[in-house]
Amino acid sequence: MRGILNFLKNWVLIIALLVGCLAHNVLIGYADKTMYLIFGMLFFTFCRIHPSQLKLHRVHGLFLAVQILGAALSYYILKFCGAEMVAESVMICILAPTAAASVVVTMKLGGDPASNATYVLLSNIAVSLVVPLWFPFINPAMAEMSFWVACWSILKKVMPLLLGPFVLAMLLKWLLPKAHAKAASWHEVSFYLWALCLVFSAAQMIDAIDRSDASWVTSVLLVVCAVALCLAQFVLGHRLGGRYGDRVGGGQSLGQKNIVLAIWISYMFLSRTAGETPMVVVALGAYIITQNMVNSWQLYRMRVKTEEHEATEMVP
């Protein structure tokens, strides 16, 4: 029984993906409820973070440069080479904002969750400003939408889920410190709420891919690009973060993306006609699988090292 429980703990993210993919027809009808799970996940996490810890650091500027300038440079190089469909997919895989769940993983892997939480907020605000300014040049159909309407449409989807849990956690700390301390001790709940979110995210991903009419050759190419980009961003994030003493948080800041929001942005701003499913959803689907395989492997290695350390301490 203990072996089964350890297996589930080590690979819960992959299991969540499989459940979401296999049962997507049933789960897709409830996918809009994930906002409540994300709210709860971040609430328990923020109970362990003090407001004074949320500070901008130089490394955040480097991450933002990679996210925005890297997306723009990749897009225009590939477009110049005549691969516009691949260009859009690569661009959105780099530009997509950092996922709120990255704070949970950073904490479990021993990184700096406060620094990561700061970048999650910065990354999402940056995307909400960049998309309305830049995407009309990519998709002329978006030119009819004003900057403020486009900006607000993104902000209203992400800001309540990022600021709401933080404000609630701080109010609880001020008004009911004992309850706040108890909530902080339940931080493991955040991880399993995230796994549950992933079930519904996988269902949304499969539903989006089902709607796409990409050929198998195109799909394979987009999948290869997404896998390579995901791994590259984790590695680059580790290296940049390592220069400032936080390899774990760096990898999560650049590597783990809010794919559900990225899919919504693709539908909203990259569709050329009403109801069209952009090809980029194939790449985003491959990305979410890859990033969770990477995180599952990191969590597994972390657990193995912890168990080896505990076993060594028990030896007389």
Identify whether the C-beta of residue 190 lies closer than 8 Å to the C-beta of residue 44.
Answer: yes
Alpha-carbon span 183 to 48, nearest angstrom: 9
Instruction: Output Rg (C-alpha) for the chain, integer angstroms.
Output: 20
Q: Which long-range contacts (CB under 8 A, 24 or more apart) does 69-74 make?
A: 70/94, 71/95, 72/134
- Catalogue the E-assigned strands of the chain: none
Tens of pLDDT along the chain (316 residues)? 555 656 666 678 788 888 888 888 888 888 777 888 888 888 888 888 888 888 889 999 999 999 999 999 999 999 999 888 899 999 999 999 998 888 888 988 889 999 999 999 999 999 999 999 898 888 887 777 888 888 888 888 888 888 888 889 899 988 888 898 888 888 778 888 888 888 888 887 788 777 777 677 888 889 899 999 999 999 999 999 999 889 999 999 999 998 888 888 888 888 766 556 678 888 998 898 899 889 888 888 888 777 665 556 555 5
Q: Which of 187, 204, 202 is nearest to 41 (CA)?
A: 187
Structure tokens at 284: 């985003």
pTM (predicted TM-score): 0.87
CA atoms 173, 98, 196, 247: torsion sign: negative
Could you tell me the fold of the domain covering 15-299? Answer: Na+/H+ antiporter like fold (1.20.1530)
Identify whether the C-beta of residue 6 lies closer than 8 Å to the C-beta of residue 288.
Answer: no
Identify whether the C-beta of residue 222 lies closer than 8 Å to the C-beta of residue 91.
Answer: no
DSSP letter at 97 equals: P
Structure tokens at 5: 């429980």
Among left, alpha and beta (phi > 0; psi -120 to 50; other), residue 82 is left
- Confidence at residue 78, expressed as pLDDT on a 0 to 100 scale: 94
Contact residues for 117 (Cβ-Cβ < 8 A; gap 6+): 45, 46, 49, 54, 103
Structure tokens at 228: 């390579």
Q: Where are the domains of the chain?
A: 15-299
- Confidence at residue 163, expressed as pLDDT on a 0 to 100 scale: 86
- One-letter amino acid at 291 equals Q
